[in-house]
Amino acid sequence: MENVTIRMLAEKLQLSTATISKALNNSHEISEETRKRVQELAKELNYVPNPYASSLRKKSSKTIAVVIPEVADSFFAEAINGIEAVAKEKGYHVLIYLTHENSQQEQAILNDFQSGRVDGILISVTMETAASEHGLAHLSKELPIVFFDRVCEELPTARVTTNDKEAAFIATRHLIERGCRNIGLLAASQQLSIIRQRISGYEKALKEAGLPLSPNAVTYYTNDTVGNYKKVCETLRQHRFDGIIATTEKLATSVYEACETLGIRMPDELKVVGFSNLSTARFLQPSLTTVAQPAFEMGKTAATLLFRSLKNNHFPLAHQQVEIPSQLVIRQSTAV
Amino acid sequence: MENVTIRMLAEKLQLSTATISKALNNSHEISEETRKRVQELAKELNYVPNPYASSLRKKSSKTIAVVIPEVADSFFAEAINGIEAVAKEKGYHVLIYLTHENSQQEQAILNDFQSGRVDGILISVTMETAASEHGLAHLSKELPIVFFDRVCEELPTARVTTNDKEAAFIATRHLIERGCRNIGLLAASQQLSIIRQRISGYEKALKEAGLPLSPNAVTYYTNDTVGNYKKVCETLRQHRFDGIIATTEKLATSVYEACETLGIRMPDELKVVGFSNLSTARFLQPSLTTVAQPAFEMGKTAATLLFRSLKNNHFPLAHQQVEIPSQLVIRQSTAV
DNA sequence: TTGAAAGCGCTAACAA
DNA sequence: TTGTTAGCGCTTTCAA
């Protein structure tokens, strides 16, 4: 069986393709009767419109891109859930692109979007991304872009984050309240503004408690899991911290691994808070006190903003800076 | 700046659009010189081809669909990684669709693919999917489809699974060796062939050990996390199993939760093996003995098969039944 | 309320 | 080696 086209419907019904098109799109220019006739035949012949013909003509693809560093991370996985929920509701399709924390790859992906392949972009940038030299600024003039979680602060477009600074502040204060006096912070990257926010919240808490801000208490990591693990070991060995803030899920896991290797007992010798959405956090040994980010909500909100802008050109994306608070979930890794 | 098209290049260079098109596609019909001229101008003007025009004309979209029940599951997340790696290498785009274990939604998604939106499909079906009454059979005549993990055995197309039966056999035997005599199996669904495989491996191990096959030792679950948790509690309370095989990651987590609630001590009172790719399995309390599925490899293999078929129509997809073995990783949840 | 016609940007026969 | 031409399937003026 040939693919059914609008032309075939037109011939069968002795109507023009224009009429068919309008009827299928429920145009009110069309009489109720013909509309019904057309739609019935369409259903009967199992007509499915060719999306690419439509996209070509309308210059819109009903497709958005989600660009993220990785998918095997419960934050991003949940965020995708949120995005997908909204996209499905709006009848949009979701292209997914992984950057693997590599800004070159990210760049290449973004370049492709010049083509009109997608109507809008949801992105959480890599640890290496520096917005300035980034095609992102250019792209944002052609397409609506919404950042979620890992934003570029320099770019005047919508951003959905959690309350990174305050969450880190609260987490650090919690450690202090639990008796920690020498608290280290494991940072994912110098580049990321959300990490800078977290550091700043951490510093604020130390200052308020009158604790010194030792020079090497903040250490930085890359995308190299094995290298990171080694560096965590090194850091823990050198500094003899009594408290740790791990700013990513993977780093939190590395702390468990390092403690196992080094024979450091949590929480007695080291108390740990992790930024993490791990569903297993409560079953870890010891259960992990987490800064639980509203991943699903963030994805959903970001997508909602994007679709609002897609629906209405004049929607001021640049003014949308949504912050959704995280929750400190206290467990055994910070027990006294 | 207007969008640069092939026509604009043609005018600037005083050539025909046909020549431009061929030059850009590195056709050998074109002289080296004009090819260079064209490509240079293209680069200079930052020409980006319109993918939808090309798709419409060529009837191929350089896009594949990945249809999965959920993304917040380490198996599927890793599988996506594998798929994405191959897709990126081949220059394909990846549309992602979540069915949320709902075969109606799955159906709706699959229906859309009649449109030619994608060139091929990678799918892991829902717990409810019954292949027979399923549009899948119909679709598979129009598009190459590769199943991974959750396959439809009835459909004559490529399948990538792990050695479900044997892995379950080994896992069960392991429990028996560790002294279990009353082993329950938590099954995700009656419908899924991979679950039936796992059950059959489990039964085989019991039989070989001369253990009875008690009627309610296999319990079935749905997509309702809360409901499942309750049912797990109920099951554990009623049966007083000394060993459990959890056939999905989520069910394994539910066992931890249920044990906590019921005050059952793992591994003393209950030994547990979970089919799971949780990166935190080794840090759980107790660390979880897992059947670790080769998720990344399975995704990669499935994608590779799909692309092979895309490249070569005559590639006999139906004969590709790849099985990649899982690994039993023994940890404290099955300690004596 | 319907239809004729043009065209979205590209590719592929076929001709030159 | 290059160009002419037609057309992928749809939407959208504009005219009837």
Domain span including residue B23: 6-49
Residue B282 has pLDDT above 70, yes or no: yes
Any domain includes A249: yes
Amino acid found at B261: T
Do B139 and B175 have their domain in common? no
Q: Which residues of B touch A53 (CB under 8 A)?
A: 56
Any domain includes A259: yes
Do B207 and B237 have their domain in common? yes
Pairing state between β A93-98 and A63-68: parallel
Residue B52 CA distance to nucleotide D7 C1' (Å): 15
Do A306 and A256 have their domain in common? no
**Mean pLDDT throughout A69-79?**
96
Residue A215 has pLDDT above 90, yes or no: no
Per residue, the 3-state secondary structure of A136-187, as one string, reads HHHHCCCCCEEEECCCCCCCCCEEEEECHHHHHHHHHHHHHHCCCCCEEEEE
Do A281 and A304 have their domain in common? no
User: Tens digit of pLDDT for each residue in B181-192?
Assistant: 999 999 998 889
Neighbours of B16 (CB within 10 A): 12
Helix runs in chain B, H state only: 6-13, 17-24, 32-44, 51-58, 74-90, 103-112, 135-139, 164-177, 193-208, 225-239, 249-262, 295-311
Which CATH number goes with the domain that contains B98? 3.40.50.2300
Cβ-contact B73, B274 below 8 angstroms:
no
Cβ-contact A135, A119 below 8 angstroms:
no
Do A121 and A219 have their domain in common? no
Q: How confident is the model at residue B146 (pLDDT cuts 50, 70, 90)?
A: very high
Do A143 and A113 have their domain in common? yes
Nearest residue to nucleotide D5, by CA–C1' distance, is B18
Cβ-contact B157, B317 below 8 angstroms:
yes
Residue B194 has pLDDT above 60, yes or no: yes
Any domain includes A335: no
Could you tell me the CA-to-CA distances from A275 to A45, A162, A163, A246, B168 in Å, in that order? 53, 11, 12, 6, 35
Any domain includes A331: no
Comparing B190 with B275, the larger pLDDT belongs to B275
pLDDT at site B93: 98
The three-state secondary structure class of B75 is helix
Distance CA B238, CA B220 (A): 15
Work out the minimum CA distance from B138 to partner chain A, whole angstroms. 12
Could you tell me the CA-to-CA distances from B78 to A42, A99, A227, A230, B283 in Å, in that order? 40, 15, 21, 24, 19
Any domain includes B54: no
Q: Is the peptide bond before A267 cis (omega within 30 degrees of 0)?
A: yes
Residue B1 has pLDDT above 60, yes or no: no
**Mean pLDDT throughout A207-215?**
93
Do B178 and B273 have their domain in common? yes
With a CB-CB cutoff of 8 Å, which residues 57-116 of chain A face chain B? 61, 63, 70-74, 77-78, 80-81, 84, 88, 93-98, 111-112, 114-116
Q: How confident is the model at residue A2 (pLDDT cuts 50, 70, 90)?
A: low
Do B155 and B171 have their domain in common? no
Put simply, the answer to whether B285 touches A280 (Cβ < 8 Å) is no
Per residue, the 3-state secondary structure of A245-264, as one string, reads EECCHHHHHHHHHHHHHHCC
pLDDT at site B191: 87
Neighbours of B13 (CB within 10 A): 17
Do B151 and B300 have their domain in common? yes
Amino acid found at A222: T
Pairing state between β B63-68 and A321-324: unpaired
Put simply, the answer to whether B70 touches A61 (Cβ < 8 Å) is no
B19 CB-to-strand D distance under 7 Å: yes
Residues near chain C (nucleic strand), Cβ < 7 A? Answer: A 14-19, 22, 28-34, 53, 56-57, 59; B 3, 5-7, 17-18, 20-22, 24-25, 47, 49-50, 53-54, 56-58
Neighbours of B56 (CB within 10 A): 19
Put simply, the answer to whether A84 touches B96 (Cβ < 8 Å) is yes
The three-state secondary structure class of B133 is coil
Any domain includes A336: no
Any domain includes B179: yes
Residue A285 near chain B (CB below 8 Å): yes
Distance CA B331, CA B333 (A): 6
The nucleotides of chain D lying under 7 Å from a protein CB are 1-13
Put simply, the answer to whether A96 touches B98 (Cβ < 8 Å) is no
pLDDT at site B131: 60
Burial of B185 (0-12, 13-18, 19+ CB in 10 A): buried
Nearest residue to nucleotide D13, by CA–C1' distance, is A18
Residue A1 has pLDDT above 70, yes or no: no
Q: Which nucleotide is nearest to A27 (CA to C1')?
A: C1
* Spatial strand order in the sheet of A289-292: A218-220, A183-187, A243-246, A271-275, A289-292, A327-329
Any domain includes B336: no
Do B189 and B281 have their domain in common? yes
Do A269 and A192 have their domain in common? yes
Comparing A128 with B148, the larger pLDDT belongs to B148
Q: Per the structure block, which two tokens stand in for A95? A: 């292209």
Residue A16 near chain B (CB below 8 Å): no
Cβ-contact B107, B146 below 8 angstroms:
no
Do A140 and A64 have their domain in common? yes
| Residue of B70, B74, B253 lying closest to A72 (CB–CB) | B74
Give chain A's domain count: 3
